[in-house]
Amino acid sequence: MNILLDYEVHVGAVQAKWESFMRKLLRVIVLGFTFHTASAEPIELTCQTRDPESGKIVLTAEKVDPAHVGVVAVDVWNYHWCKTATMRVDAIMPRMNKALDAARTLGMTVMLCPSDVVDNYVGYPQREAVFALPKFPVPAVVNVNCPPVPDAGGCACGREKCAENYGWDGMHPALRIGETDLMPDTQAEVYAICKTRGLTHLIYIGFHTQVCLLGKPMGLKAMKSAGLRCFLARDMTDAHPGYDPARNFTPDLNTEQVVEHFEKHLAPTISFQEELTKLGKWEAKWVVDPVRITPWGTPMRPHLFEQPITVTLTTPLEPGAEIRYTLDGSVPTASSALYTKPLVFTYTTRLRTSAFRDGRAVCLESEGSFARMPPMPPAPEVAIGDLKPMRNVGFGHTYGGAVRYSGHTKPPQKDKSNLGQDIKINRTTYPRGMGVHAPCELMYEIKPEYQRFVALAGADENVVTLSNGSNLAKYPSVVFKVFIDGKEAAASPVMRVQSPAWRFDVPIPAGARIISLAVTDADDGSREDFADWAEAGFVTTKSKSP
């Protein structure tokens, strides 16, 4: 009887969830087919363009019914192969959420367009409703001619440039998805929304301006050619960045140049914040913008460097604010060190920064994490792959001394990745080592002649050999640790795909008995946490020590 009751409760819960989903889907579909026949009070946008020759700013006013306006958010991804680009998306999220919330209350249609990962949202009412829209032929109304847009190379990390992969698998987790938002992907889908909802004007926000906002099928150029009046919100976009502090070229300057190019050759821009302020939808007291750091390493994705690096702090949306910072881990205050010029770091550094005006914080706090690489260790004389470990545990279940490895994970592999490929870290292949899946530990007996443990350790890079890491390259995140007789002797920062291999050169005290080589999952789950101890082993003569 209890089993039957439990079954009925379960079925009832499933049915209730299904009915709730269908109600939401029906509501979105109905709204998708609804034309906006009743006009709201028109709003007046201040549009900024530039003379193509002189660059002189030209301001015009344009009135429009907000019910005829769509806001298109392009490629607000949860990851980018450039760590600084990833954090610059993160930096705009609080501002973007405020703007989208206000747009919804004004009756504007919000379209969220994560392009190549949009189909990871199948089953969402906001995506399914798009498929139910009637089809319309897309006209070619405007022949859009735009000169090539400035492109700074796509990586804002300076000398230590990031390697390209396609690791994003969705939109930024902080992005609020409205119940009546829509998720189109193609020019035809956006055009169908505009036709069914009577949209005539589109405001574009998102990333990366000169690539995605411009060139994607739902992008500004495509919809302008179809006859829509398009605007770029210049305060809610960020260009595909570049960074060269030697010539004062920063991602903010790159974005300014791209925005000016749009204003000269493609479309007017607006300040979304200023427009919403005029309408009483933006409060001056809101603090929504963090100080931007370039390059922008974080504790979970640190910036690794060998030579001294130059770090730039900016507040492009809070001009004139005093940037304050600390390097000792303390919270920055209005009396902390004043930023007056780019900082040069020569050692591992934790940066915390905020910005103030008249003693009041006007920016959210930012944190930067920078790790100086140790010197290159010597090659081992005794490779760990040639030794029998005292203990060998990996990703799975251990019971009675036996390990039941999970899924496609294997025991640590000699001279191969855990899945049997070549050991590869940061675009370099290594002939020797051990391929593991975190969490994992290898334990070895220390022989009297062992003087040092050496290794090059990193996240295994084979995940990017298939479809350039699509949907997966964001996940590997591991920390390597060396314990001698139960005490931590050395550790790496968090290592990510295509980060340089961390260099271990650990002296072994006289009389030490056991060394443990642990790889942890960095406390964020173990999905795709394949890792390599490359060129790992022992130096047996002091003469080979650096």
Alpha-carbon distance of 242 to 264, in angstroms, equals: 21
Tell me what the mean pLDDT of segment 376-404 comes to.
92
Listed residues 372, 401, 425: the one ending a domain: 372
Structure-token pair, residue 444: 């070895």
pLDDT 10s digits, 216-275? 999 999 999 999 999 999 999 999 989 999 999 999 999 999 999 999 999 999 999 999
The answer on pLDDT for 19 being more than 60 is: no
pLDDT of 40 reads: 67
- Confidence class for position 39, pLDDT limits 50, 70, 90: very low
Does 368 lie in the same domain as 404? no
Average pLDDT along the chain: 92
Residues 255-270: b if buried by 16+ CB within 10 A, e if exposed:
beebbbbbbbbbbbbb
| CA dihedral for 401, 454, 163, 289, sign (positive or negative) | positive
Cβ neighbors of 198 (< 8 A, separation 6 or more) are 35, 36, 37, 67, 68
Alpha-carbon distance of 166 to 181, in angstroms, equals: 26
* Residue found under tokens 């090059």: 456
The answer on pLDDT for 76 being more than 80 is: yes
**Which residues partner with 353 through β-bridges?**
325, 366
**Which residues partner with 482 through β-bridges?**
490, 517
pLDDT 10s digits, 207-226? 999 999 999 999 999 999 99
The answer on pLDDT for 32 being more than 50 is: no
Is residue 360 in a domain? yes
- H helices of 34-124, in order, are 83-105
Does 308 lie in the same domain as 247? no
pLDDT 10s digits, 126-150? 999 999 999 999 999 999 998 988 7
The answer on pLDDT for 284 being more than 60 is: yes
Does 321 lie in the same domain as 253? no
Tell me what the mean pLDDT of segment 283-306 comes to.
97
Does 248 lie in the same domain as 230? yes
Does 413 lie in the same domain as 363? no
pTM: 0.91
Alpha-carbon distance of 306 to 158, in angstroms, equals: 12
Does 505 lie in the same domain as 473? yes
Q: How many domains does the chain have?
A: 3
Does 302 lie in the same domain as 231? no
We report the CATH number of the domain holding residue 36 as 3.40.50.850
Does 397 lie in the same domain as 357? no
The answer on pLDDT for 9 being more than 80 is: no
We report the CATH number of the domain holding residue 449 as 2.60.120.1060
The residue segments making up the domain with residue 300 are 293-372
Does 249 lie in the same domain as 319? no
- Confidence class for position 29, pLDDT limits 50, 70, 90: very low
pLDDT of 345 reads: 98
The answer on pLDDT for 416 being more than 70 is: yes
Chain length of the chain? 546
**Which residues partner with 293 through β-bridges?**
313
